[in-house]
């Protein structure tokens, strides 16, 4: 088909009625071959569709009422609230040849992680295609915008949400931001991360804004005089053919510059809160449309028949928290009461929810030990099954279980070791007080990858100037590639996946930080700090209306977080271990510390682990005072090391933790340590 004919077909799709009340139009802007039209065997070639989904929500629909401020959004002539979102679909050219499954990849700050994980074998094949694992398996991969504070550019997927208004004017309210730099800087993004907009202050807010600075969270806030700093507003970048940004970029500029590692907190009256909760509805209604709509407007329907029988969702870090919150507020039931996703893989989310559905929401916000404090993130409930706090029983799956039990999906919750140190990961499977293990529902598996960090570092790892140690290179992606197969088998064929593996209180593999028996290693400071979420009071209207009136929120107490116990080598116990961690040449941790160069000396370096090699010989370790057995004391030769690692690989394949081809590559990859065993 010629390019001209493609354009005609695209225009027809854009104009067609979808027959879905909430998704009013799927506008396809581009259709192009993927991987230069490569043939993937029985699946055939793939195409990439890029477009915009247009929505109109009914504020009165019972399933939309949980969206904060939807009633304050502008309405069209039919009383609906309109908004739009970017969409990208990677699909077989003939959708009937696919495997019948959508893999919906929740974008992380506009970026698309799934291809870089599931298409990436251990040898790190370049590009989005990698070894094409998802394509050979026949998945249709879908992305869409859900985050309303992102700025256009670099292919980021955007949501264009409505702005909450009252009496025809943007709503006003208190707004708080924290930001920081790792090096001296003249200015920094008010929203901490680049490529994110911020709520503009009102005229009064600009005059009366307050800026404070402190070295650590627990330090007193030191005011900076108003005449010594400013908020510099930029323009929203223009990107042709994409959803326009909603919030402008704003930078904090301080006379004399911002000092590294220090926490700068700004509080002011802002205006124009986005109705961020429509981001959940955007995911729900797009996936439901692609699964069920029979019209020609649906690119996945052929001759009036949908080609999708099931949908899986994947979320990493922030986008994993999106999925947890999506479940918590009941969005996994579409407007007809059907499941949106039958399976979910929620990866490195920690224990949190997110700033995804309240007034003046800041979706990019996380929660950590050194930065990003007292935002709505690590909040009760944490567990998938029921738990209790102050006489209130709740759970991530509570609303769905009560109202739409057939819409409760099968869930894999996967964590690196870093989530226990930086992201309250233990609260996913303990009570809020950290005194006992929680019951895990039958539809949930929890897998902790011991000795890994939030995102694997490249090998050979480097030590950043602001860090005590090189980052942790242990690569958990092969586990995720195998687990996707297991999740789909569970959903499609009811084949039970491997049992949960995570550190537990009753087995003494999950302990308070002061109980960790870390070995004596020269030059290594063991952490004295841990991310411990606070119990917060955001004001009397937050629980019922999603309106924050206390900034910063008032502290009511704190939850208790625990970390994995370690062995004599400093490696995690009670966890699922990669071959390189199970047969180690180093200590692999989920923590690293900030050095003096980056400010906040001794605080946790966010989401980063450490890689601390063993001494080569007993004499070398004895001279340095290292209590960990040396390489020579562990393995008589490289051949012995390689043989042991190979045995572990084969055991993991047998237990369905690794794909056989990935296991072969991991064995080959271990040869990089051969020189370590030479005299």
Residues 104-134: tens digit of each pLDDT: 999 999 999 999 999 999 998 888 999 999 9
Residue 466's CB: how many other CB atoms inside 10 A?
21
State whether residue 634 is helix, strand or coil.
helix
pLDDT at 199 over 50: yes
pLDDT at 231 over 70: yes
**Distance between the two ends of the chain, CA-based, in angstroms?**
64
> What are the DSSP E strand ranges found in 440-573?
444-450, 510-511, 534-537, 554-558, 563-564
Per-residue model confidence (pLDDT) at position 19: 43
Per-residue model confidence (pLDDT) at position 17: 40
Q: What distances in angstroms separate CA 459 from CA 123, 151, 208, 480, 673, one per listed residue?
A: 11, 32, 49, 19, 11
Tokens 């990961």 sit on residue: 425
> Mind listing the pLDDT tens digit for each residue in 326-374?
999 999 999 999 999 999 999 999 999 999 999 999 999 999 999 999 9
Per-residue model confidence (pLDDT) at position 8: 31
Give the pLDDT band of residue 242 (cuts 50, 70, 90).
Answer: confident
The mean pLDDT of 510-516, rounded to a whole number, is 98
Kindly report the backbone phi and psi dihedral angles of residue 318, in degrees, each rounded to the nearest multiple of 5, phi listed first: -55, -45
Instruction: Tell me how many degrees the CA angle 565-568-572 measures, rounded to the nearest 5.
Output: 35
Per-residue model confidence (pLDDT) at position 13: 45
Cβ-contact 288, 340 below 8 angstroms: yes
Q: Show the domains of the chain with their CATH numbers.
A: 3-162+275-462 (3.40.50), 172-271 (no CATH)
Interacting residues of 42 by C-beta distance below 8 A, sequence separation 6+: 97, 138
The mean pLDDT of 231-244, rounded to a whole number, is 85
- What pairs with residue 357 in β-bridges? none
Nearest to 246 by CA among 175, 170, 149: 149
The mean pLDDT of 212-217, rounded to a whole number, is 97
Per-residue model confidence (pLDDT) at position 12: 36
Residues in the chain: 679
Cβ-contact 32, 7 below 8 angstroms: no
Per-residue model confidence (pLDDT) at position 544: 95
The mean pLDDT of 43-50, rounded to a whole number, is 98
> Mind listing the pLDDT tens digit for each residue in 403-417?
999 999 999 999 999
The mean pLDDT of 22-32, rounded to a whole number, is 97
* Helix, strand counts (H, E) of the chain: 15, 30
pLDDT at 498 over 50: yes
| The model's pTM | 0.96
Per-residue model confidence (pLDDT) at position 371: 93
Between CA 515 and CA 561 the distance in angstroms is 13
The mean pLDDT of 58-83, rounded to a whole number, is 97
Determine how β-strand 534-537 pairs with β-strand 576-577: unpaired
pLDDT at 501 over 80: yes
Between CA 396 and CA 399 the distance in angstroms is 8
- Computed over every residue of the chain, the mean pLDDT equals 95
Per-residue model confidence (pLDDT) at position 645: 98
pLDDT at 500 over 60: yes
Q: What is the DSSP letter of 300?
A: T
Q: What percent of the chain has pLDDT over 70?
A: 97
Per-residue model confidence (pLDDT) at position 237: 86
Give the pLDDT band of residue 21 (cuts 50, 70, 90).
Answer: low
Cβ-contact 465, 395 below 8 angstroms: no
Cβ-contact 298, 20 below 8 angstroms: no
Cβ-contact 525, 595 below 8 angstroms: no
CA of residue 566 relative to chain centroid, distance: 26
């Amino acid at each position: 088909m010629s390019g001209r004919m493609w354009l005609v077909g695209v225009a027809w799709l854009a104009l067609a009625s979808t027959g879905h009340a909430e998704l009013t139009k799927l506008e396809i802007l581009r259709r192009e071959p993927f991987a230069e039209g490569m043939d993937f065997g029985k699946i055939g070639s793939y195409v990439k569709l890029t477009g915009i989904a247009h929505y109109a929500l009914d504020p009165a629909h019972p399933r939309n009422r949980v969206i904060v401020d939807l009633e304050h959004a502008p309405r069209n002539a039919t009383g609906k609230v309109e908004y739009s979102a970017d969409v990208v679909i990677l699909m077989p050219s003939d959708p009937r040849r696919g495997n019948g499954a959508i893999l919906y990849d929740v974008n992380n700050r506009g970026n698309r992680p799934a291809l870089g994980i599931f298409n990436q074998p251990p040898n790190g094949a370049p590009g989005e295609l990698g070894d094409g694992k998802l394509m050979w398996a026949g998945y249709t991969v879908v992305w869409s915008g859900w985050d309303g504070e992102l700025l256009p550019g670099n292919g980021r997927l955007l949501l264009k949400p409505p702005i909450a208004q009252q009496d025809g004017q943007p709503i006003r309210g208190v707004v708080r931001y924290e930001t920081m730099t790792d090096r001296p800087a003249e200015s920094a993004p008010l929203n901490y991360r680049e490529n994110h907009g911020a709520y503009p202050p009102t005229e009064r807010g600009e005059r009366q804004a307050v800026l404070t600075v402190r070295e650590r969270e627990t330090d007193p806030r030191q005011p900076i005089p108003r005449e010594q700093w400013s908020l510099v507003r930029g323009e929203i970048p223009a990107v042709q053919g994409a959803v326009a940004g909603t919030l402008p970029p704003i930078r904090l500029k301080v006379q004399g510059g911002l000092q590294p590692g220090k926490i700068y907190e700004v509080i002011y009256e802002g205006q124009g809160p986005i109705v961020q909760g429509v981001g959940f509805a955007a995911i729900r209604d797009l996936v439901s449309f692609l699964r069920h709509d029979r019209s020609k407007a649906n690119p996945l329907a052929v001759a009036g028949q949908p080609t999708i029988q099931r949908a899986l969702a994947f979320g990493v870090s922030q986008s994993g928290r999106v999925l947890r919150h999506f479940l918590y507020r009941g969005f996994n039931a579409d407007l007809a009461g059907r499941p949106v996703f039958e399976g979910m893989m929620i990866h490195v989310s920690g224990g949190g929810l997110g700033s995804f559905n309240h007034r003046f929401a800041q979706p990019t916000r996380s929660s950590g030990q050194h930065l990003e404090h007292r935002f709505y993130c690590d909040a009760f409930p944490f567990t998938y099954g029921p738990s209790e706090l102050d006489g209130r029983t709740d759970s991530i799956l509570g609303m769905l279980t009560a109202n739409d039990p057939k819409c409760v999906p099968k869930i894999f919750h996967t964590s690196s070791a870093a989530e226990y140190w930086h992201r309250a990961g233990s609260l996913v499977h303990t009570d809020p007080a950290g005194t006992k293990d929680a019951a895990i529902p039958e539809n949930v598996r929890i897998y902790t990858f011991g000795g890994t960090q939030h995102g694997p570092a490249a090998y050979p790892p480097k030590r950043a100037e602001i860090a005590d140690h090189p980052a942790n290179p242990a690569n958990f992606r092969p586990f995720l590639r195998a687990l996707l197969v297991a999740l789909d088998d569970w959903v499609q064929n009811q084949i039970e996946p491997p049992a949960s593996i995570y550190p537990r209180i009753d087995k003494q593999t999950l302990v308070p930080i002061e109980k960790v028996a870390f070995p004596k290693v020269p030059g290594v400071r063991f952490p004295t700090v841990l991310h411990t979420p606070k119990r917060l009071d955001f004001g009397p209207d937050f629980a019922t209306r999603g309106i924050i009136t206390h900034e910063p929120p008032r502290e009511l107490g704190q939850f208790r977080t625990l970390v994995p116990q370690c062995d004599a080598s400093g490696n995690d116990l009670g966890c699922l271990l990669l071959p390189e961690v199970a047969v180690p040449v180093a200590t692999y941790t989920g923590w690293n510390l900030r050095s003096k160069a980056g400010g906040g000396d001794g605080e946790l370096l966010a989401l980063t682990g450490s890689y601390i090699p063993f001494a080569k010989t007993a004499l070398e370790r004895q001279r340095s005072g290292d209590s960990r057995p040396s390489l020579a004391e562990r393995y008589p030769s490289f051949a012995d090391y390689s043989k042991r690692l190979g045995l572990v690989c084969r055991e993991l394949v047998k237990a369905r933790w690794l794909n056989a081809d990935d296991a072969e590559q991991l064995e080959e990859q271990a040869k990089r340590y051969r020189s370590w065993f030479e005299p």
